Amino acid sequence: MIRIKVPATSANLGPGFDVLGLALSLYNVFTFTEKDGAMGYDTLVHVAYHKVFEHLGRKLIPVEIEIEAEIPMARGLGSSSACIVGGVMGANEMLGSPLSTQELLALATELEGHPDNVTPALYGGLMASLTKEGRVHSLNIPVKNSYRFIALIPDFTLSTEKARAVLPEELSYEDSVHNVSRTTFLLTALLTGQDDLLSLGMEDRMHQPYRGKLIPGFERIGKALLDSDALGFYLSGAGPTIMGLAREDDQEVIEKIRAFMTDEFPSWQVLVLRLEEKGAMRI
């Protein structure tokens, strides 16, 4: 029996579209138990598990897969990436770990389509990723200060396909420069601990103005976060979860936003999370 623990992830951080992602202290645990009999493609975990055997040309080891899921599905918190990473890691462990983490990342990215979520799911921390000529390149970004990530999770889902369908096919030169400048400020602020620059650094013109229209209350909640003295906010991944950022010791911000959400959006869930520095692991 093999158990794999995979953290939730939050991508984009505002302007870092399809590039930035971080791991959070919320987890799925996947248990793989060898069991005779046919094994189908029932879930994304199964698909990812099969992928490793096909890639290596090895005979499939049939397993029963159990999932203990904390990560909500289709909410912009990396549930699909967690399933993919859990599947490829589970298969690799069953085979005696012939593949490196970089090789697992390549397979996971191929299944997911882009590396922004699977990279932090595998490595932990805050990661920047890109793909060039079929190879995924990733960098860990050391965050100087400690933060609370306030995940505001609605009671409705939003598929990545629908969230991508509303994006424009082209961006203006002005909007492109806007996002490059904000991403630079965001990363500099996180690296140096200049928290006063985080809100500016999380401004985006590439996807949030379009996806925000799919989320009732997006602008009101964002304003409430800033009025509560949050350091900034962004749409987590493709949404619909909205992520606020507060200093580690700033309980007042958390209490203010909890009260606001209870009064105005009582069906939404509020989770207070931390940056998870460790990626997927066998437990």
Tell whether 259 and 181 lie within a shared domain.
yes
Tell whether 98 and 199 lie within a shared domain.
no
CATH of the domain at 73: 3.30.230.10
64 — phi, psi (to 5°)?
A: -95, 130
pLDDT at 40: 81
Tell whether 77 and 187 lie within a shared domain.
no
Q: Which pTM does this prediction carry? A: 0.96
Tell whether 176 and 125 lie within a shared domain.
no
pLDDT at 213: 96
pLDDT at 4: 98
Token pair listed for 73? 């599905």
Tell whether 40 and 64 lie within a shared domain.
yes
* Nearest alpha carbon to residue 234 among 246, 222, 223: 222
Tell whether 74 and 108 lie within a shared domain.
yes
Secondary structure class of 11 (helix, strand, coil): strand
265: Cα separation from own chain's centroid: 23
pLDDT at 214: 96
Tell whether 8 and 137 lie within a shared domain.
yes
pLDDT at 160: 87
pLDDT at 130: 96
Tell whether 195 and 130 lie within a shared domain.
no
Tell whether 168 and 134 lie within a shared domain.
no
Residue in the block written with tokens 């690296």: 191
Tell whether 27 and 87 lie within a shared domain.
yes
CATH of the domain at 153: 3.30.70.890
- Look at the chain and report how many structural domains it folds into: 2
pLDDT at 13: 98
Let me know: does 79 contact 37? Beta carbons within 8 Å. no
224 — phi, psi (to 5°)?
A: -65, -40
Tens of pLDDT, residue by residue, the chain (283 residues): 999 999 999 999 999 999 999 999 999 999 999 998 867 888 999 999 999 999 999 999 999 999 999 999 999 999 999 999 999 999 999 999 999 999 999 999 999 999 999 999 999 999 999 999 989 999 999 999 999 999 999 999 999 899 999 999 999 999 999 999 999 999 999 999 999 999 999 999 999 999 999 999 999 999 999 999 999 999 999 999 999 999 999 999 999 999 999 999 999 999 999 999 999 999 9
Tell whether 66 and 123 lie within a shared domain.
yes
Let me know: does 254 contact 148? Beta carbons within 8 Å. yes
What DSSP state is assigned to residue 275?
Answer: B
Tell whether 249 and 134 lie within a shared domain.
no
Residue 283 to residue 281: CA distance in whole angstroms? 6
pLDDT at 39: 79
Range of the domain at 235: 147-273
Secondary structure class of 169 (helix, strand, coil): coil
Rg (CA), the chain: 19
